Structure 1
Amino acid sequence: MKIFFYIMAGFGIIMLVLYTYIGGFTAPEVVVITSETKYVAGQPYEGSIEDAALSKAFQRAAEVLEKKELEGMLGSIYYNDPDKSGDSLKAFIGIIVPDTNNITLPAGYELRTVPGGRKVVHAEVTANVIVAPKKLYAAVFDYAEEENLKLEDFYVEWFPQEDIGVVEVPVRK
């Protein structure tokens, strides 16, 4: 029985160290800013968050960057909150490109513009992509509640560097 306790304690310590390493205890920074225009090259997705097609859309975006078909960073637009809509997601998954001059879109990709100049709740965290989205959205929603802000159901998420995640959500007028 003692050996089982030591094994479980050792496993727990390893998991705690791993969670710390991937940024599990890092708190996001949250501020209200005026957004900048963003250009997203990607593909639309509508369906369950459990659907393999969603995973394939993210894999395709990573492949586009890896093969240097486009310059930019992984990024997505979400048009609804799947927690509020029963697992149904409407999104646009792809790459946030720095500018649209002289770009050739990969097969199956289209370009969308997210207009700037809007008041948004901006959250940023240093954490692995495994934990970053959950931390970011929780921080945005908590901040909005604390500040009595109403948010739109429109989310722009991107990963400017490895282990850095950002999300912006417009404040409803």
Structure 2
Amino acid sequence: MNRISLALALLLIVGFAVAYWQMGGFKAATVTAETTSRPYFVAGRYYAGPANDEAFGDLTRQAYTLRKAGKLRGDFGNIFYNSPESTRDSARVFVGVLVADTSSQALPAGYSYRTFAAGQRVLHARIKASYLVAPDKLYNGIKTAAEEQKLTLRHVYLEHFPDQGEPEVFAAVK
């Protein structure tokens, strides 16, 4: 019985490790210092409150539903207005869809636009990984790069999770 339990436990560990590897969990983010060359527009709704609140999840699900129904065209995108460490307790975030411009489609009721401006100095983090493991890796890469380059983060972050391509985060620096 002990050998069977040990074999099952080992099999589960190997299975989880393979799944994590397939999702890109062992990859590191690539981080570069850049200046944004264009503005990024997010169509969405603002949320301020506990990060684990159901209302926060509802906004994400609503953006997904609107994209799936074709009422908003673009990729998932959020603008966070506080540091990733503090979002565990309280999040200030504009949740929505990254869109090409502000004039080519009508906004759903209750939605508005926010802009992540062009000409900002940013740390741009990218990773070839699933959106399930990407956020922690991207933010850890940004934090490490900021420390190594002695940059001060402004705690404004643009998240972009495209259907095709690499998830990325732009972190504004002072």
TM-score bucket (shorter structure): over 0.9
Shift of 1:83: 2.1
- Residue aligning to 2:71: 69
Q: Which amino acid aligns with 1:152?
A: R
- Residue aligning to 2:4: 3
Sort the Cα spacing of 1:62 and 1:10 in 2 relative to 1 into closer, same or farther, 3 A.
same
After TM superposition, the structure 1 = structure 2 runs for residues 1-173 of structure 1, keeping only pairs within 5 Å, are 1-35=2-36, 36-81=38-83, 83-84=85-86, 87-162=89-164, 164-172=166-174
The two structures have a TM-score, normalised by structure 2, of 0.94
Residues 46-72 of structure 1 show CA distances to partners (whole Å, capped at 9, x for unaligned) of 110110111111111111111111211
Name the CA distance, whole Å, in 2 between partners of 1:50 and 1:106: 25
Q: Is the contact made by 1:123 and 1:140 (CA closer than 8 Å) also made in structure 2? A: yes
Total equivalences in the alignment: 172
Structure 1: runs of 5+ lacking an equivalent: none
Say what the alpha-carbon RMSD is for the aligned residues.
Answer: 1.4
Runs (4+) off by over 6 Å: none
Q: Which moved more, 1:65-74 or 1:156-165?
A: 156-165
Shift of 1:146: 0.9
Q: Is the contact made by 1:150 and 1:171 (CA closer than 8 Å) also made in structure 2? A: yes
The two structures have a TM-score, normalised by structure 1, of 0.94
Shift of 1:77: 0.4
Q: Is the contact made by 2:84 and 2:139 (CA closer than 8 Å) also made in structure 1? A: no
Q: Is the contact made by 1:129 and 1:163 (CA closer than 8 Å) also made in structure 2? A: no
Q: Which amino acid aligns with 1:28?
A: A
Sort the Cα spacing of 1:7 and 1:161 in 2 relative to 1 into closer, same or farther, 3 A.
same
Sort the Cα spacing of 1:85 and 1:112 in 2 relative to 1 into closer, same or farther, 3 A.
closer
Name the CA distance, whole Å, in 2 between partners of 1:102 and 1:136: 31
Name the CA distance, whole Å, in 2 between partners of 1:53 and 1:159: 20
